Amino acid sequence: MKLVKYIVILFVLVSCNDASKNESKNLAEAQIVNPEEIKNLINKSLDNWHKAAAEANFNEYFDLMTKKGVFLGTDATENWQNEAFRAFSKPYFDNGKAWSFTSVERNIYLYKDNKIAWFDELLDTQMKLCRGSGVMKLEGGKWKIAHYVLSITIPNKNVGEVVKLKSATDSIYTRELKNKL
């Protein structure tokens, strides 16, 4: 008789566990959001990030980056890890205006889990047209920049002129990097 009781109790416990798993799975599936809604949230986050820089809002700007966020600038030496980028940027923000970038075109792509996205954007800046691209990560319910790359666009017909302008500097830096290998 005791054996039957144990079997019944075991059966009830296993059934409850399976029901709990199904309930958790259904809850997770219910939280999946329309991809267009996610892209709208990402657009808003990126727009707010650019706005925070234009308004010199240091805390808001860096709150929209992950703690290990990376910013690659237009200079070959600019591979900023979050803490170093904060230190570099702080004086600009403290002076009342960091930089002003306005997206004029943006493409967003979602990973299948809807928690990672990558994007590219064409920007109107004080340097004229630039391109930004990066990776966004959903953290604590907020879309944050994990990696951002800023590039100055160069019309193809002007590439030769630009290469001549940067040739000496690039040669020195390339040599330094190769010597580190």
Q: Is 60 exceeded by the pLDDT of residue 175?
A: yes
**pLDDT value at residue 49:** 99
Helix (H) or strand (E) holding 67: strand 65-72
pTM for the full predicted model: 0.81
Q: Is 70 exceeded by the pLDDT of residue 119?
A: yes
**pLDDT value at residue 13:** 54
Of residues 13 and 132, more confidently modeled: 132
DSSP 1: -
**pLDDT value at residue 9:** 56
Share of the chain above pLDDT 90, in %: 81
Q: Is 80 exceeded by the pLDDT of residue 3?
A: no
Collapsed DSSP state (helix, strand, coil) of residue 135: strand
C-alpha torsion angle, residues 52, 53, 57, 58 (rounded to 10): 120
Instruction: Count how many Cα atoms sit within 13 Å of the Cα of residue 160 in the half-sphere of its side chain.
Output: 1
**Residue whose structure tokens are 């809807």:** 114
Q: Are 125 and 100 in contact (CB under 8 A)?
A: yes
Report d(CA 30, CA 9) in Å as an integer: 31
Domains belonging to the chain, first-starting first, are 35-180 (3.10.450.50)
Taking residues 2-11, what's their average pLDDT?
54
User: Which neighbouring-strand residues pair with 109?
Assistant: 118
Report d(CA 32, CA 136) in Å as an integer: 17
Taking residues 88-101, what's their average pLDDT?
95
Q: Is 60 exceeded by the pLDDT of residue 133?
A: yes
Q: Are 122 and 103 in contact (CB under 8 A)?
A: yes
Q: Is 80 exceeded by the pLDDT of residue 99?
A: yes
pLDDT digit string, tens, across residues 48-75: 999 999 999 999 999 999 999 999 999 9
Taking residues 20-34, what's their average pLDDT?
53
Taking residues 158-162, what's their average pLDDT?
97
pLDDT-derived band at 96 (thresholds 50, 70, 90) equals very high
Q: Indicate if the alpha-carbon torsion angle 99, 102, 105, 108 is positive or negative.
A: positive
**pLDDT value at residue 97:** 84
Taking residues 83-98, what's their average pLDDT?
96
**pLDDT value at residue 25:** 45
